[in-house]
Amino acid sequence: GAGVSQSPSNKVTEKGKDVELRCDPISGHTALYWYRQSLGQGLEFLIYFQGNSAPDKSGLPSDRFSAERTGGSVSTLTIQRTQQEDSAVYLCASSLISGNYGYTFGSGTRLTVV
Amino acid sequence: QQQVKQSPQSLIVQKGGISIINCAYENTAFDYFPWYQQFPGKGPALLIAIRPDVSEKKEGRFTISFNKSAKQFSLHIMDSQPGDSATYFCAASMIPGNQFYFGTGTSLTVIP
């Protein structure tokens, strides 16, 4: 596609429920990243994929968070047993190659846990 | 611990004025310093970036000044326009590396 697509754009969920956030990267981009943006905070790194493997999961805040990527393309970030502190905008980015050159970000999924 | 510190948190500038946003870092292993611009409801977009082998980079009205010895870098927006009103994030990373370390953002408002 022309850009990084994320869905849903907004998600309201009840505390304790599981949620899945989806990211469709730019076609051909091998590297994919998830970040979290909380109100008044910068972007917080969550996880990095190179192809289907995740060599760096160091930013996942707890074992309630997991992510996978299939076919070297679509990625899903899953949050189990959501808590109010999980409320944030979850951003996905992709890049043609790994190594921290300029990414293209999606518009994000705004998650609200009530 | 915040790896990149950004100031000010918010900035109001008159149209035609100069907007200046500052960032500081501690990790001397960082060697790539981008600035991102974010409009409401959108993801951040790469605006301009610099490597530490140069002290300044200019692209149109946007200039990055880089001071390696002070471990500081700044974004200057010349002739600021209302369309520049957005949130600006500085970031730092290692090349190669797996993640960017972002500042906390500066909300810029340019008054007509």
Q: Which of B37, B98, B102 best tests the A interface by mutation, with the highest count of A CBs <10 A?
A: B98
Q: Domain of A72? A: 5-103
d(CA A21, CA A37): 14
Q: Domain of B99? A: 4-111
pLDDT at A99: 63
Please give the tally of structural domains in chain B: 1
Q: Hey, which bits of chain A come out as E strands?
A: 5-7, 10-13, 19-24, 31-37, 43-50, 53-56, 65-69, 75-79, 88-95, 104-105, 109-113
Chain B, 14 to 73: residues with Cβ < 8 Å from chain A are 32, 34, 36, 41-46, 49
Centre a 10 Å sphere on the Cβ of residue A62 and count the other Cβ atoms it contains.
11
Question: Is residue A110 domain-resident?
Answer: no
User: How many interface pairs between A and B have CB atoms less than 8 angstroms apart?
Assistant: 63
Q: Flag whether pLDDT at B66 surpasses 70.
A: yes
Cβ-defined contact of B41 to A59 (cutoff 8 Å): no
d(CA A54, CA B94): 18
Chain B residues closer than 8 Å to A108 by CB = 43
Taking CA–CA distances from A42, the nearest residue in chain B reads B104
pLDDT at B48: 94
Please give the tally of structural domains in chain A: 1
CATH of the domain at B65: 2.60.40.10
**In Å, how far is B43's CA from the nearest CA of chain A?**
4
Considering only CB atoms, B46 lies closest to which of A40, A41, A102, namely A102
CATH of the domain at A84: 2.60.40.10
Question: Is residue A64 domain-resident?
Answer: yes
Cβ-defined contact of A42 to B89 (cutoff 8 Å): yes
d(CA A85, CA A13): 12
Per-residue pLDDT of chain A (114 residues), as tens digits, is: 579 999 999 999 999 999 999 999 999 899 999 999 998 778 999 999 999 999 889 999 999 999 999 998 999 999 999 999 999 999 999 988 766 567 899 999 999 999
